[in-house]
Amino acid sequence: MTATTHAAAAVTGKTGRPLTPGTARVGFIGLGNMGSGMTRNLQAAGFQLVVNDVRKESAAELIANGAEWADSAAAVAAGSDVVITMLPTPKHVEAVASGPGGILDGIADGGTWVDMSTSVPEVANRVREAGAARGIHVLDAPVSGMSVGAAKGMLQIFIGGDAADVERLRPVFEAMGDPERIQHVGGHGAGYAVKLMINQLWFSHLVATAEVLSTGVKAGVDLEVLRQALIASPANSNFVQNDVLSILNHGDYDEGFAIALACKDLGLSVDLARSVGVPVELSSLVEQLYRRAKALYGDEAGEMTPVKLYEDAIGVQLRTAASAVPATATAAEGA
């Protein structure tokens, strides 16, 4: 790419015009469970994509539908008006953003990088500081809604950064998320913090719900009767009312999001709390329960797998009446 073309790639960012379908080029790095759905929706909305992933085969459908493949993060950034990353860990984000052949090596002066990974402010801060003299715009915009929300284009998006950048990129965000749940939550790093706190509370709800349901069932209360009593009480939560049904009705522990990644998120949440001087004994215990479940059931087990710790303890799977069976019987059948 020539210097002229390179500079032109970020002209939309420099002028402050919204990035709109049909004219804007969106770079996207990370085509896993989340990124694959997000890019399909960007493409369906009319954005021209430039993509990269460690597995080129993950881009086959996108390329067949008109996306361009780039061999490096630098090439993605050089050919895009905005480059988005959706990666597993802060370590991956830092390598892609500022390592050799990374985003900083290819992005035009005045260009824009949006990290939609569940990460930490320190990584993005280093990139922002390194690119400050070149006028590079950086936003953190992690998401909630799991792979189902990514596929449906109904993610909740929490954006940290400058308000003007948020509005300029709103059409891009709206192609991936629910317009009513795209929130500018504050300055740089606020998006990361909000997402980590949401994850921490959700994982805590899961552990608390597993304990309560297991204890009640072991004490002789019908599972659905107990759940309905909780729903009608001040102890109700969205997890009790909705999310736990994937296990109770279908035995689905959400393998679309691996427990290894859940443990990563919990570790980041606890680290964030410590860095700002907040004692989080409960959160630390939830993290340890998740790590125990990961050790017992494997890295690729679903993010709701800690419920199995309690099912194994009481010898019964937590299922609606029609599907409840002893946990040991299921294990034997699986073997």
Active site residues: 195
Q: Who contacts 54 (Cβ-Cβ below 8 Å, separation ≥6)? A: none
Cα separation of 144 and 128, whole Å? 24
Nearest Cα neighbor of 25 from 144, 140, 108, 116 is 108
- Please return the burial class of 90, using the count of CB atoms within 10 Å of its CB with bins 0-12, 13-18 and 19+: buried
User: And the tokens for 15?
Assistant: 């002028």
Beta bridge partners of 144: 156
Helix segments in the chain, DSSP class H: 3-8, 11-15, 33-44, 60-64, 73-78, 90-98, 103-106, 121-131, 146-152, 163-168, 170-176, 190-218, 223-231, 238, 245-250, 259-275, 281-297, 306-314, 327-334
Which DSSP category does 240 fall into?
I
Q: Who contacts 28 (Cβ-Cβ below 8 Å, separation ≥6)? A: 35, 38, 39, 42, 49, 50, 51, 52, 76, 83, 84, 85, 86
Q: From the CB of residue 288, how many other CB atoms can be counted at a distance below 10 Å?
A: 13
The dihedral built from the CA positions of residue 168, 34, 102 and 97, taken in this order, carries a sign that is: positive
User: And the tokens for 34?
Assistant: 């989340």
Cα separation of 190 and 161, whole Å? 8
> Angle at the Cα of 280 (from 275 to 283), degrees rounded to 5?
115
